[in-house]
Amino acid sequence: MKTISLKLSEVYALHDELNGIYQDETLVHEGILKSKLSLPTRYFLNQILKQATEHKVDIDKARDGLILELGVVDGDGKYSLSMLIDGFQNGVPTKVPNPNWGEFQKKMHELFEESVEIKYKEFNIVEDLKDVSLDFDPVVLYKLAEN
């Protein structure tokens, strides 16, 4: 087994490279695990995905907590944090920058810069992923293959 240190931003991206990218529950890009793979390759990629998923869940919980801390509650009891809020400029109602948005971005950036260790079986892109066809470059997975 090999170990690599990745920033949490890279772990988040690795999760999407393996599992696919979804936007509002709509699949935008299929992940590598949707491709034709040998059983051993599928197994070791799923082991990587399992670790990435655990970190992604923790990141999402931290983000949600930050939204609770910095956001506002609407009439339905849901919290949100918008880039722009209602305000006034020269006495005219308009949208103005939300002062909490910058703090949110700063704290999320700090979180994404933290590093964690990911353990994985050494693999070869050419041999193990030869049948994979993607419409994006799995940059973080390449990093694991080169490690």
Domain count, the chain: 1
* Dihedral over alpha carbons 26, 116, 105, 137 (to 10 degrees): -40
Residues facing residue 7 across a β-bridge: 115
Over residues 86-133, the pLDDT tens digits come to 888 888 889 888 999 999 999 999 999 999 999 999 998 888 888 888
75-94: b (≥16 Cβ within 10 Å) or e = eeeeeebeeeeeeeeeeeee
Contacts of 122 (CB under 8 A, 6+ apart): 2
| Run of H or E including 132 | none
This prediction has a pTM of 0.84
Query: Which domain range does residue 74 map to?
Result: 2-146
